[in-house]
Amino acid sequence: MLKSKLILIIVSLLAGLLALGAGVIWQLLQPVNPSAQTPQKFVVAKGESISSIGDKLTQTGLLRHPLVFRGAVYYLQNSWTTTGTSIQAGSFELSPAMNIWQIVKRLTQGSDDVWLTLLEGWRVEEIAQVAQNKLTNFSVPDFLDLARPLEGQLFPDTYLVPLEFSPDQLTTLLTTTFEKKVTTGLAEEIAGSDRPLEEVIILASLVEREARGYDQMRQVAGVLEHRLKIGMALQVDATLQYAKGPSTQGEWWAPPLVGDKKIVSPYNTYLHPGLPPRPICNPGLEAIRAVLNPIETDNLYYLHAPDGQIYFAQTLEEHNRNVAKYL
């Protein structure tokens, strides 16, 4: 009899605990505030973890507990009844009146916005190609008309923009970011430079295409400054690539050929001493800072080896030895 009572007590306790647990879980699954219908923007960063998203949803008042989000995503991703439950990066309209299942569903159905990653050293046509692939009804000709005169000031970065973003809006965003990060952000360094901002950006566009990494960029910037100082032609291969345009395969920066040094163009720095008339690409902050702080050097020559290293030389004879050794 005593044993039966003990079993009954244990079963009752377990049932009570299960009921209590179920009640807590049910409560956590409910909307934070059913009457708060006003949506708010919630951004999921590229590559952001489920754990981080759950924490942010809780911190912004859209979720009662982050573990609930992780559990819901795990359940949906492992349920044979559901497909396409990967959380997407982007911007979403969510509200505290949504329950956990509505939130997860919204985060898997496509963002209101799209991420545009624009790399350092791209020319305006490459930016246009990416925008056309990402944005709806994006007019490449309209964008090129607006942005081409602003080559060099279309700041490379990763942007979250509406799917319906227009060429005018994109141009404004890129140039406004340039103003913020370069014109304003580097105002002190620019003021201390011997060159006006326009020339700094032109030179930075060459350095961006000719070097990788801040230290290497500073060295190349020093060589180009030395050439400019003595009136020597810059002889930058990237300017030939810019003047030549895309290859037959559509590649914008195909390796130049020997005959390309005769291209008739104001951008051909083999034929025309001094800086080209305008930037050849849109440089990033490292290239711009390198031009503002070049390494003073007696070197006049450099070459790119197949392993990615750059080898410098003070004389043509030394440069030719490097060519024979590394190329």
Q: Report the CATH number of the 31-111 domain.
A: 3.30.1490.480
pLDDT of 176: 98
What integer pLDDT is reported at residue 302 of this predicted model?
Answer: 93
Q: What pLDDT is attached to residue 62? A: 85
User: On the CB side of 159, how many CA atoms lie within 13 Å of its CA?
Assistant: 26
Helix, strand, or coil (residue 304): strand
**Which residues of the chain have a pLDDT value below 50?**
21, 80-81
Q: What is the pLDDT of residues 190-224, one digit of tens each?
A: 999 999 999 999 999 999 999 999 999 999 999 99
In sequence order, what E strands does 73-124 have? Answer: 90-94, 113-117
Q: Following DSSP, what letter does each residue of 213-225 receive, concatenated?
A: SHHHHHHHHHHHH
**What is the predicted pLDDT for the residue at 132?**
96
CB 57 within 8 A of CB 69: yes
The alpha helices in 135-213, defined as continuous H runs, are: 140-147, 167-178, 187-191, 197-210
Query: How high is the pLDDT of residue 28?
Result: 67
Q: How far apart are CA 232 and CA 273, in angstroms?
A: 6
CA distance 236 to 206: 7
Where in the chain do CATH 3.30.1490.480 domains reside? Answer: 31-111
- Tell me: the pLDDT tens digits for 243-297? 998 887 888 999 899 999 999 999 999 999 999 999 999 999 999 999 999 999 9
Query: What per-residue confidence (pLDDT) applies to 79?
Result: 60
SS3 of residue 126 by DSSP: helix
d(CA 166, CA 172): 10
pLDDT confidence of residue 231:
95
The Cα 147–Cα 288 span in angstroms is 20
For the question of whether the overall pTM of this predicted structure is more than 0.85, the answer is no
